[in-house]
Chains A and B, each alone.
Chain A
Amino acid sequence: MTETDLVIIGAGPAGMAAALAARARGVGRILVLERNGFYGGILNQCIHNGFGLHYFGEELTGPEYAERFSTELASAAVDVHLDTMVLSVSPDRQVEYIGPKTGYQVVSAKAVILATGCRERTRGQISIPGTRPAGVLTAGAAQRYVNLDGYQIGRRIIVLGSGDIGLIMARRLTLEGAEVVAVVELMPYSSGLTRNIRQCLDDFDIPLLLSHTITEIRGKHRVEQVTVAAVDADRKPLPGSETRFDVDTVLLSVGLIPENELAKGAGIELDPVTGGPIVSDRMETSVPGIFACGNAVQVHDLVDYVSAEGRRAGDHAADLLLNEPAAKEDLISLTATGDITYVVPQQIRQSSLSAGIDIFLRVKRPLPGGGVITVCADGTPILRFRRKHLNPGEMERLTLPHQVMSQQTAASFSISVEAP
């Protein structure tokens, strides 16, 4: 078995940023393992623009954003193996992988960073009655077929779920000459970014049917017709509200979940809400020496924050490798309550309090009039943040300032939101 300092799994924006950060800090032997034949992960199929305004101060397409990092990574002293699939990671950081040049290998690493991104929920996980004809596919798979392979996937299309990929694909397919008859959303609000509703649906007069769902998919070999119905407050279809649409393709854009198989196998504790590992503010998981970042931890809307998180994981892995390992530190929990869906990180190190902490969260329901986010220490409010608009589709970032945090001696923190 070979040994190395740091293994990074995934060469998407999170993994690339982590590798560059760790290298810049002076970590010697870094090995990046990527199952695709190219760098950049999901960005390669995201050919639309809207990436990197925070990070580079200009608006780039996904492939352009990826190429900025991959060019830098290719010239850095980092080993990258493409077409290489990681099969498992053990709790003591032995990484098992297989690739065309290396064959089957096991490498023992002093630190590991999981940057494996996320996967899509599929029809099996949402169950729609009816036949099982061809022509039902996830929006991300459609994006890959159209943008990377150049296939035409259908002529008359309906999209179930108003997640961002579904919205982006509605525009993409319309521009390619298909007719998108509607985007159907179960909830009374969209989970996609407002900008995507505007420029992907409104620009092309594609109807967004809120509080609706697909109740049946029919077709012998290929999809021929779907039934759409309105739903009540309990999300049950309302009898008599059915409309039929003749379509040949159904796209599912019903959510993303962190790719967490490797984390599970390593015995890492997962957050039941995010689906990703529970992490500390240094992006370390419950298994010492294993870090995680990017969509593997929480599904991000902004790649800029993914890169920032990757860099943070790379920096802290470098700390662990290059400095005397810090004495075992107490972790203070940070818990989401009430209308906050989740918060990342879920744990804060005692020693981080003096530096200030960046946190990310999402709310459970839209608060159109905005809200006040309150951070409590052992139940006592210590910080309040006012936000003009809060939406489940838009992740919020807060910085807990060191001036306040360094004064804290609490055993736990919690976070909540109220309408102002």
Chain B
Amino acid sequence: MIDLICICCPEGCRLQVDPDHDYAVTGNRCPRGETYGREEVISPVRIVTSTVRLTSETVPRLPVKTDRPVPKSVMFQVMDEINRVVLNPPVRLGQPVISDVAGTGADVVATRTVTA
């Protein structure tokens, strides 16, 4: 039995994952915990959040995130690509900023709308 703490939301449910029984998960208060428990044991992934440079007068930084979790092992490669981006406003929330970042299949998307 592997003890984990679900990090999908601040509730922090205590999970038990049973590698001997098809990675069955218990202790989760919602279905996300089950997916997390399984993946964390088999191949851990994380959402990466950061900012990219904007050429705006009033908003120097645009917050961004990967639109899905990426393998923990490539977090720094994702950061490298994010740090090379400079954007011109307007940008709308959800707009892709990098596609297929670090070959993960995930896109980096804007998490805020900036009009000017």
Chain A residues within CB distance 8 Å of chain B: 37, 44, 47-50, 53-54, 59-64, 67, 147-150, 175-177, 193-195, 198-199, 203, 301-302, 388-389, 394
Contacts and interface: CB of A to CB of B under 8 A. Distances in A.
A195 B10 contact: yes
A252 B10 CA distance: 22
Given A61-B111, A64-B112, A175-B75, A150 B46 contact: no
A53 B32 CA distance: 10
B65 A195 contact: no
B38 interface: no
A195 B112 contact: no
Contact of A47 (B7, B58, B63): B63
Contacts of B102: none
A147 B51 contact: yes
Contact of A198 (B5, B11, B65, B111): B5
Interface string B84-95: 000000000100
A13 to B, nearest CB: 14
A60 B65 CA distance: 10
Contacts of A198: 5, 7
A158 to B, nearest CB: 21
B6 interface: yes
A47 B10 contact: no
A59 B111 CA distance: 12
Contacts of B12: 193-195, 394
B63 A203 contact: no
- Chain B, interface size category, equals 20 to 34
Contact of B61 (A64, A67, A149): A149
A203 B49 CA distance: 15
B9 interface: yes
B61 A148 contact: yes
A205 B60 CA distance: 31
B50 interface: yes
A49 B63 contact: no
A375 B7 CA distance: 31
Contact of A175 (B11, B65, B79): B79
B8 interface: yes
B8 A59 contact: yes
Nearest to A57: B30
B65 A61 contact: yes
B47 interface: yes
Contacts of B32: 53
Nearest to A47: B63
Given A61-B63, A148-B61, A150-B60, A67 B93 contact: yes
A301 B11 CA distance: 10
A203 B5 contact: no
A147 B72 CA distance: 22
A28 B78 CA distance: 49
Given A53-B11, A148-B60, A203-B72, 17 more contacts: A48-B49, A60-B111, A61-B63, A63-B63, A63-B112, A64-B112, A149-B61, A175-B48, A175-B50, A175-B76, A176-B79, A195-B6, A198-B5, A199-B7, A199-B46, A302-B10, A389-B14
A149 B113 CA distance: 16
B47 A49 contact: yes
Contacts of B72: 203
A150 B61 CA distance: 6
A198 to B, nearest CB: 5
Nearest to B61: A150
A45 to B, nearest CB: 9
Contacts of B11: 53
A12 to B, nearest CB: 15
Contacts of B75: 175
A61 B53 contact: no
The 3 tightest CB contacts between A and B, nearest first, are: A53-B9, A47-B63, A195-B7
B8 to A, nearest CB: 7
